[in-house]
Amino acid sequence: MRINRRDFLKTTALTSLYFAGFGTPTLANKGTKKNLVVIMLRGGMDGLCAIPIKGDKNFEKLRSKINLDRTLKLTSDFDLHPALETFKKLWDQNQGAAVHATNIPYTGRSHFDGQNLMESGGKIPYQVKTGWLGRGMKSAGLTGKGLALALPMPLLIRGVPMNNNYYPVGDRLPSKETMSIIEQAFKDHDEKLLSENLKIVMTRDLKNQGNRENWSLASNAGEQLSKPNGPRVAVFEVDGFDTHAAQGATNGAHADCLNDYDRIVKGLYQSMSKKAFDNTLIVTLTEFGRTIKQNSSNGTEHGYGSAVFLAGGLVKKAQIHTDWPGLKRKELFEGRDLNSTIDSRSIYASAMSTVFDVDFKKITKEVFWGENLQNLSNKLFKT
Amino acid sequence: MKNFFRKVAYGIGPNEDIPSDPLKWALDQLDEVPDLSWQGKIYTEKELRGHYRDYVYNDRKKLRKKYKNNKTLYKTHKDILRHNTGQKFWESLEISIRHNEGINSNSPVLAKLWMFWGNFFAISDKDFLANYSTGPYHREIIRPNLNQTFEKMVYDVTTSWAMIHHLDNSESAGPNSLTAGQDWRIEKKKPASINENHARELLELHTVSPKAGYTQEDVIQLAYIMTGWQQRWSKKKLETGNVWFNSEYHQPGKKNVLGKEYKKGKKTLAVVIKDLVNHPNCRDFVAERLCRYLINDEPTKEMKQPIIDAFKKSDGHLTEIHKAAIKVAFNYNNKFKKFQTPENWFIQAAKIGDLKWPPPVDLMDSYTLGDKPVRQQRYPERVLRNIGHHPYRAKQPNGWSDHSDDWMSPELLIRRLVYADRSYDFLKSGNDNKEFYEKIINNNFDKPDKLKDYLFKNMVYRSSERNVLLFNHPEFLKA
Q: Is there a domain that residue A201 lies in?
A: yes
| A226, part of any domain | yes
CB-CB neighbours of A9 under 10 Å: 13
Q: Which residue of A has its CA nearest to B420?
A: A174
CATH of the domain at A95: 3.40.720
**Between A and B, how many CB-CB pairs are < 8 A?**
155
Q: What is the pLDDT of residue A22?
A: 41
Cis amide linkage into residue B380, ω under 30° from 0 = no
Chain A environment of B173 (Cβ under 8 Å): 296
Confidence (pLDDT) at B171: 87
State the pLDDT at residue A293. Answer: 94
CA B11 – CA A381 distance, rounded (Å):
56
Interchain CB distance below 8 Å, B461 and A178: yes
Integer Cα distance of B219 and B169 in angstroms: 13
Chain A residue with the nearest C-alpha to that of B202:
A110
- B144 CA: distance to closest CA in chain A (Å): 29
Distance from CA of A268 to the nearest CA of B (A): 21
Residue B440 has pLDDT above 90, yes or no: yes
Cβ separation A110–B468 shorter than 8 A: no
| pLDDT at position A30 | 56
- Cα–Cα distance between B226 and B272 in angstroms, integer? 10
Q: Which of A169, A189, A211 to mutate to test the interface with B (most CBs of B within 10 A)?
A: A169
Rounded Cα–Cα distance for residues B247 and A198 (Å): 58
Pick from A296, A302, A332, A334 the residue to mutate for testing the B interface (most B CBs within 10 Å): A296
pLDDT of residue B462: 87
Q: What pLDDT is recorded for position A3? A: 55
On the CB side of B364, CA atoms within 13 Å amount to: 25
Tell me if B443 sits within 8 A of B16, measured CB to CB: yes
Tell me if residue B356 falls in helix, strand or coil: coil
> Which conformational region is residue B288 in: left (phi greater than 0), alpha (psi within -120 to 50 degrees), or beta?
alpha
The one-letter amino acid at B195? N
Contact between B189 and A152 using a beta-carbon 8 Å cutoff:
no
ipTM of the complex: 0.94
Residue B326: exposed, middle, or buried by beta-carbon count in 10 A (0-12, 13-18, 19+)? buried
Report the SS3 class of residue B20: coil
As a whole number, mean pLDDT of residues B13-20 equals: 95
Q: Does residue A11 carry a pLDDT above 50?
A: no
Tell me which residue in B193, B459, B464 faces A295 most closely, judged by beta carbons.
B193
Q: Is the pLDDT of residue A8 over 70?
A: no
3-state secondary structure B118-166: HHHCCCCCCCCHHHHCHHHHHHHHHHHHHHCEHHHHHHHHHCCHHHHHH
B399 close to A111: Cβ distance less than 8 angstroms: no
* pLDDT (0 to 100) of residue A27: 42
Q: Do B411 and A185 touch (CB under 8 A)?
A: no
Same domain, A91 and A191: no
Which H or E run includes A234?
A: strand A233-238
- One domain, residues A192 and A257: no
pLDDT of residue A19: 42
Q: What is the DSSP string of B28-83?
A: TTSS--PPP---S----HHHHHHHHIIIIIIHHHHHHHHTTT-HHHHHHHHHHHHH
A33 by DSSP, 3-state: which?
Answer: coil
A237 → chain B, closest CA residue: B395
Q: Are residues A235 and A375 in the same domain?
A: yes
Number of Cα atoms under 13 Å in the Cβ half of residue A146: 31
Tell me which residues of chain A, numbers 214 to 243, contact chain B at a CB-CB cutoff of 8 Å: 239, 242
Q: Let me know if A192 is exposed, middle or buried by CB neighbors in 10 A (0-12, 13-18, 19+).
A: exposed
Which pLDDT does position A20 carry in this prediction? Answer: 41
Considering the entire predicted model, what is its pTM? 0.93
Residues A181 and A298 in one domain: no
The pLDDT value recorded for residue A14 is 42
Residues of A in contact with B477 (CB under 8 A): 194
* pLDDT score of B189: 81
DSSP code, position B107? -
Domain residue ranges of chain B, discontinuous segments joined by +? 1-148+317-479, 167-277
Name the more confident of B62 and A306: A306
A312 and A274: one domain? yes
Q: What is the pLDDT of residue B186?
A: 86
Q: For residue A6, what pLDDT band results from cuts at 50, 70 and 90? A: very low
pLDDT digits (tens, 9 = 90+) for A209-268: 999 999 999 999 999 999 999 999 999 999 999 999 899 999 999 999 999 999 999 999
The reply to whether A283 falls in a domain is yes
Q: Which residue of B has its CA nearest to A300?
A: B195
Q: Per the CB < 8 Å rule, is A113 touching B172?
A: no
Quote the percentage of chain A above a pLDDT of 70.
Answer: 92
| pLDDT computed for residue B5 by the predictor | 98
- B363-382 pLDDT, tens digit per residue, is 999 999 999 999 999 999 99
Residue of B nearest to A293 (CA): B193
Any residues with CB less than 8 A from the CB of B420 and at least 6 apart, and which? A174, B349, B467, B468, B470, B471, B472
Length of chain A counted residue by residue: 383
Alpha helices in chain A (DSSP H): 5-20, 47-50, 57-62, 85-92, 111-120, 132-139, 176-188, 192-203, 214-226, 253-271, 274-278, 344-356, 360-367, 377-380
Distance CA B211, CA B286 (A): 12
Phi then psi for residue A199, to 5 deg, are -60, -45
* Partner B contacted by A164 (CB < 8 A): yes
CB neighbourhood size of A62 (10 A): 17
Min Cα distance A186 → chain B (Å) is 6
What is the Cα–Cα distance from A356 to B267, expressed in whole angstroms? Answer: 59
H or E stretch including B113? Answer: helix B108-120
**Contact residues, chain B, for A238 at CB < 8 Å:** none
Cα–Cα distance for residue pair B273/B33, rounded to 1 Å: 24
Is the CB of residue A175 less than 8 Å away from at least one CB of chain B? yes
Q: Mean per-residue pLDDT for B467-472?
A: 97
Which helix (H) or strand (E) is A2 found in, with range?
Answer: none
CA distance B433 to B452: 13
Across the interface, which of B195, B414, B421 has its CB nearest the CB of A295? B195
What average pLDDT does range A168-195 have in this prediction?
96
Q: What is the mean pLDDT of residues B58-68?
A: 89
Q: What is the pLDDT of residue B178?
A: 96
How far apart are the C-alpha atoms of B288 and B44, rounded to whole Å? 33
Q: Let me know: does A242 contact A271? Beta carbons within 8 Å.
A: no
pLDDT for the residue numbered A16: 43
Strand ranges in B200-307 using DSSP code E only, listed in sequence order: 229-231, 243-245, 255-257, 260-262
Taking Cα atoms as reference points, which of A100, A217, A116 lies closest to residue A168? Answer: A217
Check: CB of residue A314 under 8 Å from CB of residue A281: yes
For residue A222, being part of any structural domain is answered with: yes
Quick: pLDDT tens for B109-157: 999 999 999 999 999 999 999 999 999 999 999 999 999 999 999 999 9
Whether residues A296 and B171 touch (CB distance < 8 A) is answered with yes
Same domain as A201, residue A72: no
Kindly state the average pLDDT of the residues B72-76.
93
Task: Please give the residue of chain B at the shortest CA–CA distance from A154.
Answer: B406
* pLDDT band at residue A4 using 50, 70 and 90 as cut-offs: low
How many beta carbons lie within 10 A of that of residue B56, not counting itself?
20
Q: Are residues A186 and A318 in the same domain?
A: no
Name B257's bridge partners: B260
Does a structural domain hold residue A350? yes
> What is the rounded CA–CA span in Å between residue B407 and residue A150?
12
On whether residue A238 sits in a domain, the answer given is yes
- Please say if the pLDDT value at position A181 is more than 90: yes
Residues of B in contact with A152 (CB under 8 A): 388, 406-407, 409, 412
Q: What is the pLDDT of residues B18-57, one digit of tens each?
A: 999 999 999 999 999 999 999 999 999 999 999 999 999 8
Q: How far apart are CA B368 and CA B385, in angstroms?
A: 24
Is the predicted pLDDT of residue B461 greater than 90, yes or no? no
Q: For residue B58, what pLDDT is reported?
A: 87
Does A22 map to a domain? no
Specify the length of chain B in residues. Answer: 479
User: What is the Cα–Cα distance from B217 to B200, expressed in whole angstroms?
Assistant: 11
Separation between Cα atoms, residue A46 and residue A65, nearest integer Å: 15
Q: What is the radius of gyration, based on Cα positions, of chain A?
A: 21
Q: Inform me whether the pLDDT recorded for A136 exceeds 50.
A: yes
CB A109 to CB B216 under 8 A? Answer: yes
**Nearest-by-Cβ selection for B413 from A185, A201, A297:** A201
The rounded distance, in Å, linking the Cα atoms of B385 and B175 is 41
The per-residue pLDDT for A29 is 45
User: Could you tell me if B326 and B27 are in contact, meaning their C-beta atoms sit under 8 angstroms apart?
Assistant: yes
Asked whether residue A129 is domain-assigned, the answer is: yes
Q: Quick check: A244 and B171 CB within 8 A?
A: yes
List pLDDT tens digits, range A270-314: 999 999 999 999 999 999 999 999 998 899 999 999 999 999 999
Q: How far apart are CA A137 and CA A366, in angstroms?
A: 10
How far, CA to CA in Å, does B261 sit from each of A352, B117, B145, B213, B281?
49, 30, 29, 17, 19
C-alpha B175 chain-centroid distance? 34
Whether the Cβ atoms of residue A103 and residue A306 lie closer than 8 Å to each other: yes
Q: What is the pLDDT of residues A48-87, one digit of tens each?
A: 999 999 999 989 999 989 999 999 999 999 999 999 999 9
Q: Beta strand B229-231 with B243-245: parallel, antiparallel or unpaired?
A: antiparallel
Domain containing A359: what range?
Answer: 5-12+35-168+212-380
pLDDT of residue B199: 98
What's the pLDDT at B159? 98
Q: Reduce the DSSP state of residue B104 to 3 states and report it.
A: helix
Residue A375 · residue A360 · CB < 8 Å: yes
Q: What percent of chain B has pLDDT over 90?
A: 94
Calculate mean pLDDT across residues A111-129: 95
Query: What's the domain count of chain A?
Result: 2
CA-to-CA separations, A275 to A225, A280, B10, B20, B408, in angstroms, rounded:
11, 9, 53, 68, 34
Q: Report pLDDT for B303.
A: 98
User: Residue B453 contacts by C-beta under 8 Å, 6 or more apart in sequence?
Assistant: none
User: Which of B448, B425, B341, B461 is closest to B389 using CA atoms?
Assistant: B341
